[in-house]
Amino acid sequence: MSDIPLSIVVAVAKNGVIGRGNDLPWRIPSDLKRFKAVTLGKPVIMGRKTWDSLPRKPLPGRANFVVSRTAGTFEGAIVCDTPEKALQRAREAAIASGAGEVCLIGGAALYGALLPVVSRIYLTEVDLTPEGDAHFPMLNPIEWREVSAQAFDAQPGDDAGFVVRVLERV
Ligand X SMILES: NC(=O)c1ccc[n+]([C@@H]2O[C@H](COP(=O)([O-])OP(=O)(O)OC[C@H]3O[C@@H](n4cnc5c(N)ncnc54)[C@H](OP(=O)(O)O)[C@@H]3O)[C@@H](O)[C@H]2O)c1
Closest separation in Å from C-beta 41 to ligand X: 19
Report how far apart, in Å, the C-alpha atoms of 97 and of each of 20, 42, 92 are: 34, 8, 9
Asked if residue 94 binds ligand X (CB under 6 A), the reply is no
Using alpha carbons, list the distances in angstroms from residue 122 to 8, 21, 22, 165: 6, 23, 21, 6
Establish if 108 lies at the interface with ligand X (CB under 6 A). Answer: yes
Distance CA 52, CA 49 (A): 5
Span of 55-63, 66-74, 93-101, 145-153 interacting with ligand X by CB under 6 A:
66-74
- Binding part of the chain for ligand X, among 36-44, 62-70, 90-98, 143-151 by CB under 6 A, reads 62-70
For position 15 contacting ligand X by CB under 6 A, the verdict is no
Q: How many residues make contact with ligand X (CB under 6 A)?
A: 29
150 sits near ligand X (criterion: CB under 6 A) = no
49 binds ligand X (CB under 6 A): yes
- When asked if residue 109 is in the footprint of ligand X (CB under 6 A), the reply is yes
Q: Which is nearer to ligand X, 44 or 96 (CB)?
A: 44
CB of 157 to ligand X, least distance (A): 17
CA distance 165 to 162: 10
Residues that bind ligand X (CB under 6 A): 10-11, 18-20, 22-24, 46-50, 53, 67-70, 81-83, 105-110, 113, 134
